[in-house]
Amino acid sequence: MTLASLGKQTRSPFSGKIKIFADGAERNAILEFASRSDIHGFTTNPSLMRKAGVQDYRAYSKQLLQDVPNKPFSFEVFADDFAEMKKQALEIATWGKNVYVKIPIMNTKAESAIPLIQELSHQGIPLNVTALLTLDQVWETTRALKGGAPSIVSVFAGRIADTGRDPMPIMTASAEMCESAGDQVELLWASSREPLNIVQAELAGAKIITVTPEIARKMSGFNKDLFQLSLDTVKAFKTDSDAAGFTL
C-alpha cells in the first residue's frame, strides 16, 4: 500500500446502523441527549447513580423516566440476594413501558444469576444482563433469554481491552450467539473508551453501544478533515500557551 493510497483512506467505515445509548445518571446530561435523534436510549447503574449524588433511587429513576418517556432506559437492581433481586426487578419493571431491568450476571459471591434471568425473561420482563466478560457467560445468558422478552446482553468490551486483550474476537463471537437466540436478544458493547469503539462495535455485529456523554459529544468529529484537525490542534496549543503567559 502506497503513501498516496493511505492518504486517500480518510473516511470512517462507520455506517450509523448501530444504536447508541448514553450511559450515565447526571440529569442535565440526560436532558441534553434526550432530544438527539442519534441517541437511541439510556443506561445507568448504581455506581453512576452514586456518582451523581442520588439519594432516593426510586424517585430519581421515575423522574428520569418522565424526562425520557419514549426511549429505552435501563435501571439496575442493587440487591445481592437473588430473592431480593427478583423483588427489585419486578418493581423496576413497573416504572415504565420503556424500562429494561439490569441484572448482573452473578452476585458478589460469584453465584450465577442465570436461573433468575431465565425466570424473569420468560415472565415477559425486558432485561439488560450486565457485567459479562467471558464467552461462557454470553452463551449461558443467550440460552436463558431465548424465547423470552426483548433483552440486551451487555458485554464489557472496554474492560476486556483494559486487560491488554483485543475485545473484537469476543464481541464478534458474542454477536453470533445473540443472533442465534433470536431477534429479541441484542448484543451491547459496554464500557466504551473512545469514539473508535462505536466503529468497532458496529463492525463486530453489536446492535447497541453505550457511550459516555464525553464520547457522545465527540461523535460530531466523525470524518472531520484530518488536515483541518491538525490545524485546530496547533491553534489550541497556541491559545493555551498565550493564555498561560508562557515565556522563555
Cell numbers linked to 2: 502506497
Question: Do 78 and 49 form a contact (C-beta atoms < 8 A)?
Answer: no
Query: Which residues contact residue 156 at a Cβ distance below 8 angstroms, ignoring those fewer than 6 apart?
Result: 131, 132, 133, 190, 191
Residue 120 sits at φ, ψ, to 5 deg, of -65, -45
d(CA 83, CA 219): 41
- Tell me which of 87, 102, 109, 238 is the catalytic residue: 102
* Annotation says 102 is catalytic: yes
Question: Do 129 and 117 form a contact (C-beta atoms < 8 A)?
Answer: yes
Nearest to 208 by CA among 26, 35, 38: 38
Question: Do 243 and 225 form a contact (C-beta atoms < 8 A)?
Answer: no
Annotated catalytic residues are: 102
